[in-house]
Amino acid sequence: MTRTSTCVYHLFVLSWYIFLNFYISLEGKDPQISLIFQKGGKWKYLTLLNLLLQAIFFGVACLEDVLKRTKGEKDIKFVTAFRDLLFTTLAFPLSTFVFLAFWIIFLYDRELIYPKVLDTVFPVWLNHAMHTFILPFSLVEVILRPHCYPLRKKGLTLLTAAGLAYVSRTLWIYSETGTWVYPVFAKLSPVGLAALFSLSHIFIIGIYLFGEKLNHWKWEILRNTPSLAKKTGTPRESCRAYLTLTIDRSSSHLRSIRSSLQPVVNPPSHKMILQVRGFPAHMSATPKFTFLALTSLQNSTPQVLSA
């Protein structure tokens, strides 16, 4: 997708989320809906927090699109880094979690998460706008452009902090009002609640890791050409061929590396940079290592630059 198309897409999704937040704010003045938001306000609902978060993210994405055209890529590194951090640690995990958690509970027993009486208050299209369409928008964003994930420890720390903040607010609202945010919480004992919160945390961590793998899989191999940079709207330094290689010190050597490179040595016209990402900290003790290799497509013999 071209830069212009990407910018138009971001503007469209931003407008959609602004409309949803504005519509819900107006509907909140209705006497029936105001009763729903009465104890704890509308921001007690994870769904509505997600809508606000998505609006903020796509606003930042639109800002980055505009600044990239006016100031250039090198002058907006902070905006790009913030966009990636926001998407990887919050926007994608939360939208996916809301989609999966809502529909799993809804299909099991909708009274636990979205009682049938709410159908008389909120139109069906709004339910799907809040709980269904959020996932496709996030998946399209993964496909549109690569996102730089932070160190896994940092990313999971930020995600965990956000989760703890929401759980703390949920418990505070119950202590102040005697009412749980979601009916499913009222059905559980304290031990059951602790188990639910723990499983939810594990679930959203799994979503984070899935997003990381999906991003790396989609953008694993990119040609280092100006045409690709223009087509995808990504900085040219990001348009390099990325290939993950795992080498075992005890048995592997350059012949195995060369064979791994064969599938991407076509056509023989451009240079390629292969950046091999490091392993997570918990794998540092294994007899595997990674390196940065530079090779020419006309001569596929790798040269190890750093280990």
Helix (H) / strand (E) containing 203: helix 190-218
The mean pLDDT value of the chain amounts to 77
User: Rounded to two decimals, what is the model's pTM?
Assistant: 0.72
Predicted confidence at residue 1, as pLDDT, reads: 59
Task: Give dist(CA 148, CA 49) in Å, integer.
Answer: 24
The length of the chain, given as a count of residues: 307
Strands 247-248 and 299-306: unpaired
Predicted confidence at residue 29, as pLDDT, reads: 74
Tokens representing residue 105 in the block: 């509970």
- Encode 63-74: b = buried (16+ Cβ within 10 Å), e = exposed: bbbeebeeeebe
Predicted confidence at residue 39, as pLDDT, reads: 77
Task: Give dist(CA 118, CA 145) in Å, integer.
Answer: 37
Predicted confidence at residue 238, as pLDDT, reads: 40
The partner residues of 272 in beta bridges, in order of sequence, read 295
Regions in the chain scoring below 70 on pLDDT: 1, 221-307
Predicted confidence at residue 34, as pLDDT, reads: 72
Helix (H) / strand (E) containing 184: helix 183-186
Q: At what angle are helices 3-27 and 46-70 packed, to 10 degrees?
A: 150
Residue with tokens 């909708």, as numbered in its chain = 110
DSSP letter for each residue of 97-134: HHHHHHHHHHHHHGGGTS-GGGGGTS-HHHHHHHHTTH
Closest CA to 92 of 42, 150, 40, 19: 150
